[in-house]
Amino acid sequence: MKSVNGSDRASAGDLLHLVRSGRATTRGALQQVTGLSRATVGQRLDRLFRAGWLREGSGNPVESPLGGRPSVRLEFDDAHAVVLAADLETRHARTALLTLTGEVVAEHGWPLRVDEGPEKVLDEVGAGFGELLRASGRPADSVCGIGLAVPGPVDSGTGRVVQPPIMPGWDGYDIRGRLRRAFTEHAGAPTTASAPVPVCVDNDANLMAYGEQRAHYPDCSAFALVKVSTGIGAGVVVDGSVYRGIDGGAGDIGHIRVPGVPGSAAALCKCGSYGCLAAVASGRAVAARLAAAGVPAASGSDVRELLAAGHPEAVGLAREAGRQVGEVLATVVTLLNPGVLMIAGDLAGTPFLTGVRELLYQRALPRSTAHLEIVTSRLGERAGLLGAGALVVEQLYAPERVEARLAALGF
């Protein structure tokens, strides 16, 4: 935060950021951290109070760093708006209405095939948003932003998916525009062209990683999550921010070629190549092998159910898939040296984790794994939704956006 640290240019957005991050939560602490005068801090806080973004807390006053009377603790007021989030899986969708601090107000999940194309899928998501708002009695104009998690690589600049192997018909599609329209149609949202609701689209593994890291590992500066469901993808959070690479392609580990896999039809990947990790070790791949052995299974979620029931063949195949993913993760861990490696998705469970550990500790250097925690998901099926909601809030209340938003609201 360049503009803080003693400069007189710390904006209302900077003050809000200091309060939200817990770095400075009283008038005195804000003066001390920013070097602003008492009067200037007061003026900037006043705008945030009038907008309803900040409030004086009801808890005990805190000791002032500048001495004198204890000061009232300032808090981010999360009652002034809500966020809508949606998480698309290959055969399932989830929507949620969230507070700005990530509490779930209402949520809904239903079967929806992402391969039916963006028109139908996004229209249903918009209808789902409308239902959540009606059920919770919130007006559409209380929604400050929408977050969407999709199972494919996303160009975060345009919010469009780029050559997604398991999302036919979505390549380059204007997801933001269509979702905004569906929201307007189904939720009765205002159609002010000058202030369309911001829509943030990102890859599901990225958003799951973001949600999990913030909720349970806020002090971990290098966090990696691998989602193993119908496909395989990874999300990386470095110093609190999602690392996407220059084209949004970072973490797309499902299409790394696994050495030694024959180029047979069984190893044909959705991307058109043979022997990709996703073609041999994903939920879909395990389901196909189970089906070939006469066990009814067609998807990652079928495998999840078989694993939950302790089905011996599913357990054996999940462990083998874990070893294959572990082999790739040895490289990932060597490159990133993360503090936490989280395994999430349909296959995440003891057999898969055992396989990952076997190969990872065998192949990666001890220095890369000495302080590594390998864990399973903590937020479960809500991870993508909560990550999407959190990313929307972080973007909307980032210091550089606050000024413009306050001005647009007339404060």
Q: Which residues bind Zn ion (CB under 5 A)?
A: 255, 269, 271, 273, 276
Compute the distance between CA of residue 76 and CA of residue 209 in angstroms, rounded to an integer.
24
Q: How far is the CB of 15 from Zn ion (least distance, A)?
A: 47
Nearer to Zn ion, 200 or 234 (CB): 234
Q: How far is the CB of 44 from Zn ion (least distance, A)?
A: 51
Compute the distance between CA of residue 283 and CA of residue 302 in angstroms, rounded to an integer.
8
Q: Give alpha helix (H) positions in 52-171.
A: 118-136
Q: How far is the CB of 269 from Zn ion (least distance, A)?
A: 3
Nearer to Zn ion, 98 or 347 (CB): 347
Could you tell me if 245 and 233 are in contact, meaning their C-beta atoms sit under 8 angstroms apart? no
Q: For the chain, what is the radius of gyration of the CA atoms?
A: 23
Q: How far is the CB of 254 from Zn ion (least distance, A)?
A: 6
Q: How far is the CB of 268 from Zn ion (least distance, A)?
A: 9
Could you tell me if 145 and 179 are in contact, meaning their C-beta atoms sit under 8 angstroms apart? no
Q: How far is the CB of 255 from Zn ion (least distance, A)?
A: 4
Structure token pair of residue 199: 């829509």
Strands 160-161 and 154-155: antiparallel
Q: How far is the CB of 233 from Zn ion (least distance, A)?
A: 11
Structure token pair of residue 124: 């249903």
Distance of CA 364 to the CA centre of its chain: 27
Nearest Cα neighbor of 226 from 83, 331, 155 is 331
**Other residues' Cβ atoms within 10 Å of the Cβ of residue 335:** 11
CA atoms within 13 A on the CB side of 167: 28
Compute the distance between CA of residue 179 and CA of residue 42 in angstroms, rounded to an integer.
39
Nearer to Zn ion, 238 or 250 (CB): 250
Nearer to Zn ion, 255 or 405 (CB): 255
Nearer to Zn ion, 189 or 276 (CB): 276
Nearer to Zn ion, 62 or 268 (CB): 268
Structure token pair of residue 194: 């000058």
- Whole-number Cα distances in Å, 146 to 20, 132, 231, 284, 347: 20, 13, 25, 30, 29
Nearer to Zn ion, 126 or 153 (CB): 153
Nearer to Zn ion, 187 or 269 (CB): 269
Could you tell me if 253 and 233 are in contact, meaning their C-beta atoms sit under 8 angstroms apart? yes
Q: How far is the CB of 273 from Zn ion (least distance, A)?
A: 5
